[in-house]
Amino acid sequence: VVLELAGSPFHTDAGLHPVRGLLELRCGITRLTAPAERLALLCAEVAARGLDPTSMVPSLAPVLGIGAETGYEPVAAEGRKLSDVIAAAVQTYLLACIGDGAGLVVAEDVHWFDPSTLEVLGALLRSADGRLMVVVTGRPDGWLPIDWPVKVFDLAPLTDEQTDTLITALNPTVTAEDRAAVAGRCDGVPFYIEQVVAGLSET
């Protein structure tokens, strides 16, 4: 099982936005999904993970922006206590998605994660029991908590040779001249290389 949590530069202040993205994807919720249908889809997803919708949905619904007026009993808590209840429910849900087998959580662009999502990710890392791998990517901006049980790999830009190999793997038809142009433009950053090569393919 692979779960992906993706940070967004447009939602750095939105609580649990990476979790919301994952929930929406797994529930089949889109921007156009009506609130009542959102609730029904969430209930179905929670039940499919072997969890009790009656106890779990009130804690997960706020993550999806589903108000209690749609038909569930809200959690009898507020402030920090409510945040803790929601965070615990999110962790329970994520672990239920992984199930009894091995799992991989990929957290990308964590430098854009909000504090609540960082807490959830930290709790996952601390609860890993040998069958869960968590891969975290982020820019070196001081976001990494010192108490996380992680091994850090500082990735340097690709060399010219590595860049050339990546470009060829992405699109073997790119000419030597274009490969040199891409390498000069992208400074060895794999993401940029991929985007530029994709642009070459489209044109």
123/139 Cα distance (integer angstroms): 21
pLDDT of residue 202: 62
Cβ–Cβ under 8 Å, residues 36 and 72:
no
Contact 184, 155 (CB under 8 A): no
- Beta partners for 42? none
Give the residue from 164, 168, 157, 167 showing the smallest Cα distance to 195. Answer: 167
Among 47, 82, 88, 80, which Cα is nearest to 62's? 82
3-state SS track over 28-46: CCCCCCCHHHHHHHHHHHH
Query: CA–CA separation, 187 vs 157, rounded Å?
Result: 7
Predicted local confidence at residue 12, as pLDDT? 82
Q: For each of the chain's 203 residues, which pLDDT tens digit applies?
A: 899 999 998 888 878 999 999 999 999 999 999 999 999 999 999 999 999 999 999 999 999 999 999 989 999 888 899 999 999 999 999 999 998 888 999 999 999 999 999 999 999 988 877 889 999 999 877 888 888 888 888 888 999 999 999 999 999 999 999 999 999 999 898 888 999 998 886 65
Whole-number pLDDT of residue 5: 96
Residue 23: CB partners within 8 Å, gap ≥ 6?
29, 42, 45, 60, 63, 64, 93
* 8 Å CB contact between 134 and 107: yes
For β-strands 132-136 and 2-6, DSSP reports them as unpaired
